[in-house]
A and B are shown apart, each in its own frame.
Chain A
């Protein structure tokens, strides 16, 4: 079977070698000679190869297999899908409803029944203010918008036992 490692790349393709002493992991990054700003990241032997591209791959197939996202860093999601404004407005609304001690933390979680990871907005508030969740949810639904095509954040509540200001 043809794999990325057996795929020939043009000798004159721009490539960057990251030596192991810089990151702990050596990698070869090759710019592919196709549209879409596609790059192959060829890491050390034994690690998975990765293709990075600006294409929307939500309906793409590789040899008949669906491509599923493999997010692990929520900061990458924010940058890729332009979720920064949503995140900022959510945190602002959270603090307006719950006070300055309320915190928004980003996380990526997995649903064992689906292939795609989930972006989670972990909302940390004082346990004594739990009753204000509905007020926050109302404003979140009315005042924020999920950018088209972006992952939809799941709201998850976490409580701390601090005395609210």
Chain B
């Protein structure tokens, strides 16, 4: 059976009430989404800082992650891009692919990958390429 959207409501309610979010796909999908956005926004802020876009803007998701993941000659930036790109796909699965199961291991992956990316970011921030805002 595909994921039921009411599960997202249960997660929202539990978070708002400050109680433990029950385990299950609602929690795992929410985890994958938040993990992606933590890295996505941290990256946007660093790129905007480097290229003097103030205040920082949201950058196009696909262009951002694919540009970083195809970087040549800088393996750390590329690795960072691969992490971001994988997190982006996980977030797409979490929010749009209701028929595709998303289990706890994939939520664990999202958290681990976000942690690794956020740890790597300070060392690659000065070498991140320019990505223009969409507007």
- The chain A residues found within 8 Å of chain B, CB to CB, are 109, 111-114, 116, 118, 120, 127, 130, 133-134, 137-138, 140-142, 145-146, 151-152, 154-157, 159
User: B106 to chain A: which residues have CB within 8 Å?
Assistant: 157
Size category of the binding interface on chain B: 20 to 34
Tell whether B27 is near chain A: CB-to-CB under 8 Å: no
> Roughly how many angstroms separate A151 CA and B61 CA in the complex, as a whole number?
15
Task: Evaluate whether A118 and B89 lie within 8 angstroms (CB atoms) in the complex, with A152-B66, A152-B69, A157-B109 already known.
Answer: yes
User: A151 to chain B: which residues have CB within 8 Å?
Assistant: 66
Task: Evaluate whether A127 and B105 lie within 8 angstroms (CB atoms) in the complex, with A154-B86, A155-B85 already known.
Answer: yes
Q: Is the CB of B78 within 8 A of A141?
A: yes
Q: Is the CB of A155 within 8 A of B75?
A: no
Residue from A111, A137, A146 in contact with B92 in the complex, judged by beta carbons closer than 8 Å: A111
Q: Is the CB of B76 within 8 A of A141?
A: yes
Tell whether B88 is near chain A: CB-to-CB under 8 Å: yes
> Roughly how many angstroms separate A113 CA and B89 CA in the complex, as a whole number?
12
Task: Evaluate whether A146 and B70 lie within 8 angstroms (CB atoms) in the complex, with A114-B62, A141-B75, A141-B78 already known.
Answer: yes
Tell whether B82 is near chain A: CB-to-CB under 8 Å: yes
Tell whether B96 is near chain A: CB-to-CB under 8 Å: yes
9 closest A-B pairs (Cβ-Cβ)? A141-B79, A152-B66, A141-B78, A142-B75, A141-B75, A146-B70, A114-B62, A152-B70, A154-B89
